[in-house]
A = this chain, B = another copy of it.
C-alpha cells in the first residue's frame, strides 16, 4: 500500500491496466457464524479472513490487501482481541495479504466485516457465469466435513470447521483452465444452483466425494467447506489432485432449465444455507 492504517483512507496504487482488481466483503457475527464458547479468538480471526480469501481464490486472483471493521463487546478483553488479531494476521502473512486499514467500534456481540482485494490479469478472473452445456463439473477436496464437525465437535471434521483453508493456489491453477468457478460456502446444492443460474444452464451430478464420517446429506447441503466448485470444457485436462487436494469430476453441465440439478437422474432439492432467505 502507498498508505496503510491511520489516515481517513488507505491508498493503493494499481500496477496498471494489465490487471483487474477483485473485491469481496464478508461479515462474521457471534452466534451467527461462530460461538465464543467453541471458537478460540485466533480461530475467529483466522475465519474472518479465510472467508474473504476463499472468494478471492474462487476468482483465481491473488490477495493484495484487506480492510477490517470490527466491533467488540465488553466481554472481549485485550487478551481476546490480541489473539483475534494474531489469528487474522498469521493467515494474512501466510497469504501475502496486507492489513491496510479498518474501523474499530463496539457492539453487544462480536461483529466483524472483512474486505479483501485481490488482483488478476485483466480479463482472467473466474466467474460463475461461464459454464456451457457439456462442461465437466468438478469439486476440490471432500465435502460435508464442516457440517459433520459442527454436529459432532470432534476430530478432523471439527478442525476442518474451525480452520477453513482458502484454496488460493488451486484458484490460480484454474485460471485459464476452468470455464466457471465459485467457492462452496453455503453447500453444494445451493452453490451449484447459483452457478447454474448465473450460467443459464442445468447440471447432472453423481454423489460428490464425501468427507470421512459425513453423510451424503452433509456433503450435498452442508455449508462452510470452502472448497472450490468449478466447470471446465470437455477438452480441458484437469489434474486428479492439486497440492494434495483431490479434484473430482462429479457431473456434466446440461442445456436449459437454469438452476435445475439432477443427482443420479433424480431432481435434487436445493437446501443449503441461504442467508438471504433466513
Residues of chain A whose beta carbon lies under 8 Å from any beta carbon of chain B: 2-3, 6-17, 19-27, 29, 31-33, 55-56, 58-59, 61, 67-69, 71, 100-109, 111, 113, 115, 117-118, 122, 125, 127-129, 181-183, 198, 275-276, 278
Chain B residues, CB < 8 A from A68: 25
Shortest Cβ distance from A115 into chain B, in angstroms?
Answer: 5
User: Closest 9 interchain pairs by CB?
Assistant: A14-B14, A9-B22, A113-B113, A8-B55, A8-B58, A9-B24, A69-B113, A25-B67, A27-B69
- State the oligomeric state as a number of copies: 2
Chain B residues, CB < 8 A from A125: 3, 9, 11
Contact of A128 among B8, B15, B58, B275 (CB under 8 A): B8
Known contacts A20-B2, A103-B26: does B108 contact A9 (CB below 8 Å)? no
Asked if A122 and B12 make an inter-chain contact with CB atoms under 8 angstroms apart, the answer reads: no
Residue of B nearest to A116 (CB): B9
Contact of A16 among B17, B115, B276 (CB under 8 A): B17
Asked if A71 and B15 make an inter-chain contact with CB atoms under 8 angstroms apart, the answer reads: no
Asked if A183 and B24 make an inter-chain contact with CB atoms under 8 angstroms apart, the answer reads: no
Known contacts A14-B16, A24-B101: does B67 contact A7 (CB below 8 Å)? no
Q: A80 vs B19: C-alpha distance in the bound complex, in angstroms? A: 39
Asked if B12 and A113 make an inter-chain contact with CB atoms under 8 angstroms apart, the answer reads: no
Chain B residues, CB < 8 A from A117: 23
Shortest Cβ distance from A180 into chain B, in angstroms?
Answer: 10
Chain B residues, CB < 8 A from A105: 27, 29, 32-33, 275
Q: A51 vs B32: C-alpha distance in the bound complex, in angstroms? A: 26
Residue of B nearest to A67 (CB): B25
Chain B residues, CB < 8 A from A14: 14, 16-17, 19-21
